[in-house]
Chains A and B, each alone.
Chain A
Amino acid sequence: MLQRLFLIFVGVYLAGATCWVLWSARVRDNGSTIQLLNAACDPTRELWREINTRFAEHMQRDRGETVAIRQSHGGSSSQARAVIDGLDADVVTLALWSDTNAIHKAGLIEESWEDHLPNRSLPFVSTIVFVVRKGNPKGIKDWPDLAKPDVKVITPNPKTSGNGKWSLLAAYGSVILRGGSEADAEQFLEKLFGSVPVLDTSARAATMTFSQKKIGDVHLTWENEAFLEVAEAKGELEIIRPAISVLAEPHVAVVTANARRKGTFAAAEAYMRFTYTPEAQDLIAKHHYRPTDPEAWERHKDEFGTLEMFDVAKLTPGMNNPGDIWAELNRRFFSEGALFDSIYTRLHGGGKAK
């Protein structure tokens, strides 16, 4: 009778679902298909989608191996946290050195990882530019314009997002490198963050806030993200390049502990090395990241505007290796109680928020 049939159906369904859940609790070797997980920072979604397809074709054609790559995206520091917590990534393609290094410090990436891949593990670099509304009504041309009282700035939270950190460093550096003192730079940052109406957790969220929700007058973002945003906006937005900005270096790395444990090390290596091939470098340029291969750069450099990019090492004079540089940058700007925290507390006060 109908009720009995229904109960049987439910029973079978539940049994099936439970089996599936239990089955997915095992890390398994997928037979012939190699499964790779790329834990990436937020704005690189479109880039990796294309590279992954090409890489899979390449592996199939040249090595006869079937590779399936999955992506996880989120704020750079969030993703680092997830990998440390157990997200079983084979490679990480995050936004800055210290996030990748945090994974190394947790024992998941091997020593001297930076030297493991060409060009200090940088298949591409980028920078921070401005996106403004059509016609640039507030006349924003360079960093000092961001401190104007009627200008609202959109940038993600430096605590969670690579974009956020790079924006802060770029803003700070813009003052220092033009001869300003630390006090001047701090004041500038305070004015800047005082005009941020919404603090999103990741780059893409900030992009949505600026372009979809139409909040803010200027958006500080990755150059590649800016291109994408402007294209999606169909004429409503434009890119403004300040004269000077930070050289943003998003390192890539194989998560050696995970890859070796899962037996995917060779494939993961091949995956990362693939990003340096001319084919991939062209894709990288197509998505508006600056390729690091000199020949590729020659081919594409006209697609990028000119601006002077400074290395963050300039903000920590006297230090040479990235470990020291980033430790100092974190200590000064991003850690608990450092500059960003104290600016925020000064701006919004200790005590009751009203």
Chain B
Amino acid sequence: MRTITRRVLPGFGLTLGLSVTYLSLLVLIPLTACVVKSLDLTLEEFMRAAWSPRARAAYWLTFECALIAALINIVLGLVVSWTLVRYKFPFKTLIDALVDVPLALPTAVTGLVYASLYVKGGWLGQFLTPLGIEVAYTKLGIVLVLIFTGFPFVVRSVQPVLAELDSDEEEAAAVMGSSRWHTFRHVIFPHLLPPLLSGFTLAFARGVGEYGSVVFISSNMPFKTEIAAVLIVSRLEEFAYREAAAVAVVMLGFSFVLLVLISLAERWSQPHAK
């Protein structure tokens, strides 16, 4: 039995009380204040602030870039977790450790470094610019940086599941004459779908909210390379608090939906967990 009635184990009142109080003070009340502030606006003003062409362009850009990055991460994450689990190769432990770097590296450092690398004269930019590929200050740069920040989520979701996979099914398939690709597609991949989805959703959520790294590498132009977070900061700096709060509320709404999706995905990907 994992949960015991409160009469047996002590501390229920204390811990629950502490948790709820802390949660309210730190998270719930401030978030409510934000919603309340945006309610200062009339419906029409709210729509104008939160749903203006510029805001819509910002949401679209944010979601588009985060989506593309997360999709790319599915592929890259799958490849990397496959090689980490199934193969032996030089520097494997190092590579495995490096996968986690985006989780630990501060976003400002990410942004600074990527901007510096991909600018016209940068280490990597000097090769790409002659090919006509501009990374810094373009949407491509935003996607690249989001790929970086979301990368570990997919790998770390898939790795444990892949590692724990029963080899019986694969062997049976081989015995029955299935090609490797066929085996992968029909036997292995279905098991990987839930963690892929879970990792994808986490990477996507992270990408939608990311500010520090994007702001360094984007040109932050309204309608073109302005993500929603930058729009909020911009409105703030124009003294437009309520309008900023309105955009924030819309983003919170999206966050909430994402949250629900994440928990559904996680629950699906761990049917054996409680």
Chain A residues within CB distance 8 Å of chain B? 75, 77-78, 80-81, 84, 102, 157, 159-160, 196-201, 213-215, 336, 344-345, 347-353
| A213 x B136 contact (CB < 8 A) | yes
Among residues of A, the one whose C-beta sits closest to the C-beta of B222 is A344
| A81 x B220 contact (CB < 8 A) | no
| A352 x B234 contact (CB < 8 A) | no
22 contacts between A and B (CB under 8 A): A77-B237, A81-B236, A81-B237, A84-B239, A160-B237, A160-B238, A197-B137, A198-B137, A198-B219, A198-B220, A199-B220, A200-B220, A201-B233, A213-B119, A336-B240, A345-B54, A348-B222, A348-B223, A351-B57, A352-B56, A352-B57, A353-B224
**Out of B115, B136, B219, B223, which one reaches A353, CB within 8 Å?**
B223
Chain A: minimal CB distance from B246 (Å) = 12
* Contacting residues, chain A, for B60 (C-beta < 8 A): 352-353
A232 and B28 CA atoms in complex are apart in Å by 48
A201 and B222 CA atoms in complex are apart in Å by 12
| B221 x A198 contact (CB < 8 A) | yes
Most buried by B among A199, A200, A215, A347: A199
* Contacting residues, chain B, for A84 (C-beta < 8 A): 239
Chain B residues within CB distance 8 Å of chain A? 53-54, 56-57, 60-61, 115, 119-121, 136-137, 219-225, 233-234, 236-240, 243
Chain A: minimal CB distance from B142 (Å) = 12
| A199 x B222 contact (CB < 8 A) | yes
* Contacting residues, chain A, for B223 (C-beta < 8 A): 344-345, 347-349, 353
4 additional contacts, CB 8 Å, given A201-B233, A214-B120, A348-B57?
A157-B234, A160-B238, A350-B56, A353-B223
**Out of A78, A102, A336, A348, which one reaches B224, CB within 8 Å?**
A348
Chain B: minimal CB distance from A166 (Å) = 17
Among residues of A, the one whose C-beta sits closest to the C-beta of B137 is A198
Among residues of B, the one whose C-beta sits closest to the C-beta of A157 is B234
* Contacting residues, chain A, for B225 (C-beta < 8 A): 353
Most buried by A among B54, B119, B239, B240: B239
| A78 x B56 contact (CB < 8 A) | no
| A81 x B239 contact (CB < 8 A) | yes
Shortest beta-carbon contacts, A-B, top 3: A348-B223, A350-B53, A198-B219
A160 and B226 CA atoms in complex are apart in Å by 15
* Contacting residues, chain B, for A196 (C-beta < 8 A): 221
A157 and B221 CA atoms in complex are apart in Å by 9
Chain B: minimal CB distance from A216 (Å) = 11
* Contacting residues, chain B, for A352 (C-beta < 8 A): 56-57, 60
| A77 x B238 contact (CB < 8 A) | yes
* Contacting residues, chain A, for B237 (C-beta < 8 A): 75, 77-78, 81, 159-160, 201
A78 and B237 CA atoms in complex are apart in Å by 4
| B236 x A201 contact (CB < 8 A) | no
| B219 x A199 contact (CB < 8 A) | yes
* Contacting residues, chain A, for B120 (C-beta < 8 A): 213-215
A80 and B236 CA atoms in complex are apart in Å by 11
Contact A349 to B115, CB < 8 A, known contacts A199-B221, A213-B136 = no
| B53 x A349 contact (CB < 8 A) | yes
* Contacting residues, chain A, for B222 (C-beta < 8 A): 199, 344, 348
A277 and B208 CA atoms in complex are apart in Å by 52
* Contacting residues, chain A, for B219 (C-beta < 8 A): 197-199
* Contacting residues, chain B, for A351 (C-beta < 8 A): 53, 56-57
| B137 x A102 contact (CB < 8 A) | no
* Contacting residues, chain A, for B115 (C-beta < 8 A): 213
* Contacting residues, chain A, for B61 (C-beta < 8 A): 353
A77 and B235 CA atoms in complex are apart in Å by 11
**Out of B121, B224, B234, which one reaches A159, CB within 8 Å?**
B234
Among residues of B, the one whose C-beta sits closest to the C-beta of A198 is B219
Chain B: minimal CB distance from A284 (Å) = 27
A84 and B234 CA atoms in complex are apart in Å by 16
A352 and B225 CA atoms in complex are apart in Å by 11
A201 and B236 CA atoms in complex are apart in Å by 12
Among residues of B, the one whose C-beta sits closest to the C-beta of A336 is B240
Among residues of A, the one whose C-beta sits closest to the C-beta of B220 is A199
Chain A: minimal CB distance from B15 (Å) = 20
